[in-house]
Amino acid sequence: MTISTGEKLPDATLVTMGAEGPETVSLADKIKGRKVVIFAVPGAFTPTCHSAHVPSFIRTKSEFDGKGVDEIICVSVNDPFVMKAWGDATGAEAAGLTMLSDPESTFTKAIGMDFDAPPAGLIARSRRYAMLVEDGSVTVLQAEENPGVCEVSGGEGLLASM
């Protein structure tokens, strides 16, 4: 079942690259008592994710800051090494976005946002979405019907719904 507005996000262990290598991140700890944007992409370095989705949140970061958003988190079913390289390549990390890996698709499956696209080599990946989470509860959820489209789930699309 897909997560809905008003529901609490399940706790999940995601992974980031720290100074000494991969480090686990408790999602529950990261979102507790905070206003956070979480957006997910089917895959790092894939065309729409790389040229549209991440750049939309880089462009709009200051507007989210102005609305009291504490952090913008990008989640992808990739390993943390790829997420670090992608964050560097896109300028996402330099812009202040947090790049988190869901390497086994555990979080993605728990919220019902997983999909497969074997012809594109995408197995157990995340649907494209963006959500506003306040103290662990989803207050806005914008999901794309087509993984190759970034409209309602982009930075501008999420801002328009807040």
Could you list the active site residues? 49
Q: Which two tokens stand for residue 114?
A: 């997983």
Q: State the Cα–Cα distance between residues 62 and 43, nearest whole angstrom.
A: 25
**Are 150 and 128 contacting, i.e. CB atoms less than 8 angstroms apart?**
yes
Q: Which two tokens stand for residue 28?
A: 């529950």
- Write phi, then psi, for 85 (nearest 5 degrees): -60, -40
Please state the separation of Cα 86 from the chain's center in Å.
13
The single-letter code of the amino acid at 106 is T
